[in-house]
Amino acid sequence: MFVSRTTVGWEALAPAKLNLYLDVLGRRADGFHELEMLMCPVRLFDQLRWTSNDRAEIHFTEGESTERFRFSVAGTDVPSDETNLAMKAAHLLAAEAGVEPYGSLSLTKRIPTQAGMGGGSSDAAATLQLLNQAWGVNYSKQRLTGLAAQLGSDVPFFFAGGPAVCRGRGEILQPQSGLPKLHFVVVKPDESISTKEAFMQLNAGQFDPQKSEGREKPLERLLELLRNGMLTAAAKAMSNSFQSVILASQPILASLQAQMTALNSWGATMTGSGSAFFGLCGTAQQARHLAGKLRAVLEDGSRAGAKHEFGEGHYLRGKTPRTHGTVWTTSTCY
């Protein structure tokens, strides 16, 4: 995430993430699942802005806001009340630091929701970082990462500042250096998937205790292929434990994945618990080319060309079954 000063306060860019590898190793006694993942931040950003009441000379009285702290959301239908992860992050930091929340925090959503792209988690991490500066709390990155784990399993990842292997619930981070810049086409179908429900769809039969004993260590192999720039093989080595379960239960997503694979011999992989899919491409030009091919097959002219500030989104319409969604070209940011 990127935090900077503005003339009236502070601003943060909260990146989306893609899971290049996701293995669910088993269910834990606390109800969470033990994971092994490779995640990368990508250049599709939500934006958070904070201004102080003093500078804006505003006194707030309405909605969910207190007089001293106001929160607003633009861009999509995520909640703008205390249940928003950005608000949860603000209140957690305030309680921990003994600060009474103040100022005006606004969130502009661009990352699709329930996509497996970590938008809410990234917003929470960016809010911790932003308000840590704005309120003069000055906690270390380590202390903020500890708070992040209380907000959600994926939140600490956004403090890694680049690609990381994530284990445990997702909060045990091993940052990875030496990976090349990677280019992707991402498609978010209109169908969304709740993370909790995706975990519930997995059954115990899918957790093989012998899997980790003497296995060929597919994650290490993927990392090695990426470091050596062997991207064709790396694309084939990407995998996601949720994918087969989700595709079996949602034929429309199976259709989308088949369409993407037909147009991109490197294949298409689901990110997180879905529902977005991504295809790895060799260069930005190839990504644009693939996005163009996807549009030619799937595009709905009525919404084509919708522009996003940090990338281009295009509405898609497939043949059978009809697939609707948005496609972006993007790349890793680190």
Ligand X SMILES: C[C@@](CO)(OP(=O)(O)O)[C@H](O)COP(=O)(O)OP(=O)(O)OC[C@H]1O[C@@H](n2ccc(N)nc2=O)[C@H](O)[C@@H]1O
Ligand Y SMILES: Nc1ncnc2c1ncn2[C@@H]1O[C@H](COP(=O)(O)OP(=O)(O)O)[C@@H](O)[C@H]1O
d(CA 15, CA 241): 23
Cβ 163 vs Cβ 19: under 8 Å: no
DSSP calls for 99-115: ----EEEEEE--SPSSS
Q: Give the residue with the Cβ less far from ligand X, 170 or 318.
A: 170
118 is in an annotated binding site: yes
Q: Is 154 a catalytic residue?
A: yes
Nearer to ligand X, 154 or 299 (CB): 154
Binds 32: which of ligand X, ligand Y, none (CB < 5-8 Å by kind): ligand X
Minimum distance, C-beta of residue 263 to ligand X, in the bound complex (Å) = 24
The answer to whether the annotation marks 117 as part of a ligand binding site is yes
Asked whether the beta carbons of 85 and 121 are under 8 A apart, the reply is yes
- Minimum Å gap between C-beta 269 and ligand X is 13
Q: Which residues bind ligand Y (CB under 6 A)?
A: 78-79, 84-86, 113-121, 123, 195, 272-273
Catalytic residue among 17, 88, 109, 188: 17
Partner from ligand Y, ligand X, none contacting 78, C-beta within 5 to 8 A by type: ligand Y
Does residue 120 have a known ligand-binding role?
yes
Q: Which tokens go with 288?
A: 């644009």
User: CA 104 to CA 94: how far, in whole Å?
Assistant: 14
In the bound state with ligand X, the residue whose beta carbon lies nearer, of 69 and 159, is: 159
Joined together, the tokens standing for residue 255 give 């259709």
Triad 12, 325, 37: Cα angle to 5°: 60
Residue 11 binding partner per list ligand Y, ligand X, none, with a CB distance cut-off of 5 to 8 Å that depends on partner kind: none
Tell whether residue 114 is among the known ligand binding residues. yes
CA distances from 4 to 109, 130, 200, 284 (A): 18, 8, 40, 27
**Residue 293 is among the residues annotated as catalytic for this protein:** no
103-108 and 69-74 strand pairing: parallel
Q: Which residues are at the interface with ligand X (CB under 6 A)?
A: 19, 22, 32-33, 35, 37, 116, 118, 121, 152-155, 169-170, 195-196, 199, 272-273
Furthest CA-CA distance within the chain: 64
Q: Is 113 annotated as a binding residue?
A: yes
Closer residue to ligand X (CB): 272 or 311: 272
Catalytic residues: 17, 154
Annotation: binding site:
112-122
